[in-house]
Structure 1
Amino acid sequence: MTPNPRQVQLLEALRAQGSLTVEALAERFGVTLQTVRRDVQRLAEAGLAVRFHGGVRTPGSTTENIAYRQRQALQAEGKSRIARAIAARVPQGCSLILNIGTTTEAVARELLHHRGLRVITNNLNVAAILCDNPDCELIVAGGVVRARDRGIVGEATVDFIRQFKVDIGLIGISGIEPDGTLRDYDYREVKVARAILEHSREVWLATDASKFNRPAMVELGHVRQLDRLFTDAPPPPPFALLLEEAGVECVVAG
């Protein structure tokens, strides 16, 4: 499903608080209890929320991400804004690494008219998109293809990435904790992302605002390792101050 605007706001409220009662949601959005129950039912059927008696909670855990198709639908408009903001700052004729994630795929679509790019990716979806740009040299990493999202991971992927030094490494993330720790779910994907951090002259992070305060099991790095962070809404406390102290440029895509 593609959530409607109220359902998107409901999901954002859940991510911020973990769980909410039906009554609280009805008051928050100025709708009836029946309307909230219908929204909750549809989100639960799509695997985006979990119902319990009188309320609803987030389905996520620290060990497993939500499904790829669900992530495509979530925050789609915000991801498009982020992608446009990133593409506007990518110089013509530069080299990039684009890793796994629905936001990086949105960025790839915005790069279709850039000229003289050299793009390395471990994301078959990104590769399929950028094949339509005749002025982009595309290099696809080797490794194990993860069927659920066509990401390429594993030691062979890490070794492949380590051959290069690019102008910009663009990564996604599953969660950012209040101490600035960057986290994800799959340790194999994290190892590839760490290699990207090490082999990029600048590191850019693309993340919608739902990722702030979201837990995940595997530590990838810290915001201090970033040069720019692109998001779709102003970061909540304490993240704005954290980014400022780390010297990270925060770009809020409007």
Structure 2
Amino acid sequence: MVQTLRKPEIIEIARREGKVTVDMLVDHFGVTPQTIRRDLTELAESGQLERVHGGAILPSATVNIAYMERQELNLSSKVDIARACVKHIPNDCSLFLNIGTTTEAVAAELHRHTGLLIVTNNLNIANNLSHTSEAEVVVTGGDLRRADGGLVGAVARETVSRFRFDYAVIGCSALHQEGDILDFDTREVGVSQAIISRSDKIILVADTSKFERKAPLKIAGLSEIDTFITDAQPPAEFVVACKSSGTEIIVA
């Protein structure tokens, strides 16, 4: 089957099944894995699908990708970003790490730091740090979001309000080229906004695939972010917005 005929059928299978995998499509079309990967890449570049580990899903502007899929997305880029990030966090400081697989990668790279007080609303980060770091760790409490171990809502915001942080490392679900930092869950956005208001220096960590995604809720604008650490040069419009806002860009 020629590519122009495969692509509409791939989209239809994704709508019916919720996800397509390379193996599934190889069996269905009788073509090579390389051919299917090329089809999925082109469909992702056109915005019709979103690549995940081993396949693709339909993109959504209102629902986030499942946590297990997000863990696998751009994993090497997240590690590079995390390693660049921890170079900008000194010993003997207070630090907030919020919900997200990139902030989880940052937590994993903090094992050489000393004298840290780390507060988080991410149970995965707390568990990681309990095994890898000597830092003092405080978990906010809040409404448990079982899908990804996030703690959100009023109790989490109240805990944040009791602190003043030297640094906060935050992630997001999407980035708009004009500079808006976006997410999906109102309860999480409220916590992230509280974190920003209680921190002296804000570091945003996100790979450039976030420019290809959409989310409906604004966390903050670039004027509230001190440093943006990413894996590749951002779109030109976003670079201009960073310069206008005084936000430093670091490409890992």
| Global fold match (TM > 0.5) | yes
CA-to-aligned-CA distance 1:104-125 (integer Å, 9 cap, x gap): 0000000012100000000000
Report the equivalent of 2:58: 59
Q: Cα gap change, 1:248/1:69 in structure 2, threshold over 3 Å: closer, same or farther? A: same
What is the alpha-carbon distance in structure 1 between the residues aligned to residue 40 and residue 59 of structure 2? 17
Query: Runs (4+) of structure 1 moved beyond 2 Å?
Result: 32-42, 132-135
Report the equivalent of 1:147: 146
Q: Which amino acid aligns with 2:197?
A: E
What is the alpha-carbon distance in structure 1 between the residues aligned to residue 76 and residue 60 of structure 2? 25
CA-to-aligned-CA distance 1:161-189 (integer Å, 9 cap, x gap): 01000000111011111221111011111
Pairs within 5 Å for 1:1-254: 35-37=34-36, 50=49, 59-133=58-132, 135-253=134-252
Q: Which amino acid aligns with 2:105?
A: A
Residue 213 of structure 1: how far off its partner (Å): 4.6
What is the alpha-carbon distance in structure 1 between the residues aligned to residue 96 and residue 39 of structure 2? 38
On the 8 A contact 1:112/1:132 being kept in 2, the answer is no
Residue 132 of structure 1: how far off its partner (Å): 2.3
RMSD: 2.6
Q: Cα gap change, 1:82/1:57 in structure 2, threshold over 3 Å: closer, same or farther? A: closer
Residue 196 of structure 1: how far off its partner (Å): 0.4
Is the partner of 2:203 in helix, strand or coil? strand
What is the alpha-carbon distance in structure 2 between the residues aligned to residue 110 and residue 89 of structure 1? 12
Is the partner of 2:144 in helix, strand or coil? strand
Q: What is the TM-score with the length of structure 2 in the denominator?
A: 0.79
Residue 145 of structure 1: how far off its partner (Å): 1.1
What is the alpha-carbon distance in structure 2 between the residues aligned to residue 87 and residue 50 of structure 1? 33
What is the alpha-carbon distance in structure 2 between the residues aligned to residue 38 and residue 208 of structure 1? 21
Q: Cα gap change, 1:134/1:36 in structure 2, threshold over 3 Å: closer, same or farther? A: closer
Q: What is the TM-score with the length of structure 1 in the denominator?
A: 0.78
Q: Which runs of 5+ in 1 are unaligned?
A: 1-31
Residue 152 of structure 1: how far off its partner (Å): 0.4
Q: Which amino acid aligns with 2:126?
A: A
On the 8 A contact 2:110/2:133 being kept in 1, the answer is no
Q: Which runs of 5+ in 2 are unaligned?
A: 1-30
Q: Cα gap change, 1:147/1:240 in structure 2, threshold over 3 Å: closer, same or farther? A: same
Is the partner of 1:238 in helix, strand or coil? helix
Residue 242 of structure 1: how far off its partner (Å): 1.1
What is the alpha-carbon distance in structure 1 between the residues aligned to residue 79 and residue 33 of structure 2? 32
CA-to-aligned-CA distance 1:196-230 (integer Å, 9 cap, x gap): 01000011100001112521011111011000000
Q: Cα gap change, 1:116/1:82 in structure 2, threshold over 3 Å: closer, same or farther? A: same
Residue 134 of structure 1: how far off its partner (Å): 5.1
